[in-house]
Amino acid sequence: MGTHTRISHGVPLAPMTTLGLGGPASVLVELQDSTDFPEFVELVGTCPGNPVCLGSGSNVLVSDLGCDSPVLRLHNRGLRMGAADTEGRVLVEVQAGHLLTDLVETAIAEGLSGMEMLVGIPGTVGATPIQNVGAYGQEVSDTLVEVRAWDWVLGRHVTLSARECGLGHRSSVFKRSRRWTLLSLVFALRRSELSAPVTYGAVAGVLDIPVGGRVPLAEAAEAVLTVRQRKGMVLGCTETEGRSVGSVFLSPEVGPADARRLGARNAPVNSFPDGSTRVSASWLIQEAGFGLNSPIVDGVRISSLHPTLVADAGASATAFREAIEIVLQRVLRCTGVRLTVEIDLLGTWPTAGGPGMPGRA
């Protein structure tokens, strides 16, 4: 392999995830430079199973049994900014292993709008299109132009436009698929001293402005960080709630009848950019009787700050998956709405996913 590539065997994956759960990787390949990727392709041909890419591990639950498929970690970093075009857009090419937090901070420092509301979200840039990462009114789909990837079906490099990525609400053609490994991405940001309109009441409240108002980029980002920290949704902001994947569940889509029924119960029901109508997953979890800090199974509980699952000492991946299923079933029973799991399962699991769980990854 190339001089910037490291191959290891039997490496624990738990420390590479924010949950800190799961077993080892049979083969772990770490690439510092995407130019070495063709050699990784050759290696995969000698290993069982399709390869899986692991970024910062902030949206992943690794099986206690570990992963037999080759696991790839891309550490390729760097970004390149072009000149502004006649529409004021600046194309920014970013390597897949670059940290999203760094990209957002760089954009703000350069006076580029389009990502300021994504501040504080962990993970690599290459992971962002997979579930169309978004928060507080902005999504990757707002700025993504194209991605460069390896297509394992065609056996070659491909370039996919944002439209071909099929970006929806926390979804894309990449979600639950191993066909592509993303290597670099291009975003279109805009020169602006002011943020996008602040559409979330909690953020507007911190800023003391009306919803829809605009403020300097750095001020908007700081307000978003404040709101996220109050929920324990910034890594390292709290010692007791740190082992999480942020949002375990998506806000599920509901039809008109359910929207009216839940609205009558004062549920937060909102329209999303993809045309869907969704009800807050946090509200559904609380409505099903799960209070903050309540235990679910040994080592897994509801966070004391926000209705999401966190892991404590003694937790296992199997227990965390069991807790997910418990929440799914009680929410369905109490509200009539089926939650959708947002996180990805990685590795070999002893049984297939339950009614609401994704399959093996």
The residues assigned a catalytic role are 170, 247, 342
171: which DSSP letter?
A: B
305: which DSSP letter?
A: S
Q: What is the DSSP string of 202-213?
A: HHHHHHT--TT-
Judge whether 33 and 1 are in contact, CB under 8 Å. Answer: no
Q: What is the CA radius of gyration of the chain?
A: 20
| Distance in angstroms (rounded) separating the CA atoms of residues 343 and 277 | 21
| Distance in angstroms (rounded) separating the CA atoms of residues 137 and 142 | 10
| Distance in angstroms (rounded) separating the CA atoms of residues 297 and 64 | 16
Judge whether 159 and 331 are in contact, CB under 8 Å. Answer: no
User: Per the structure block, which two tokens stand in for 112?
Assistant: 């580029």
| Distance in angstroms (rounded) separating the CA atoms of residues 82 and 320 | 44
Dump strand ranges (E) for 219-317: 249-250, 269-271, 277-279, 295-297, 300-302, 309-311
Dihedral sign (CA 138, 141, 145, 150): positive
| Distance in angstroms (rounded) separating the CA atoms of residues 60 and 250 | 14
Backbone torsions φ then ψ of 145, nearest 5 degrees = -105, -50
Where would I find the H helices in the chain?
Answer: 37-44, 100-109, 201-207, 217-230, 256-263, 281-287, 317-335
| Distance in angstroms (rounded) separating the CA atoms of residues 234 and 42 | 38
Instruction: Name residue, tokens 């002893």.
Output: 350
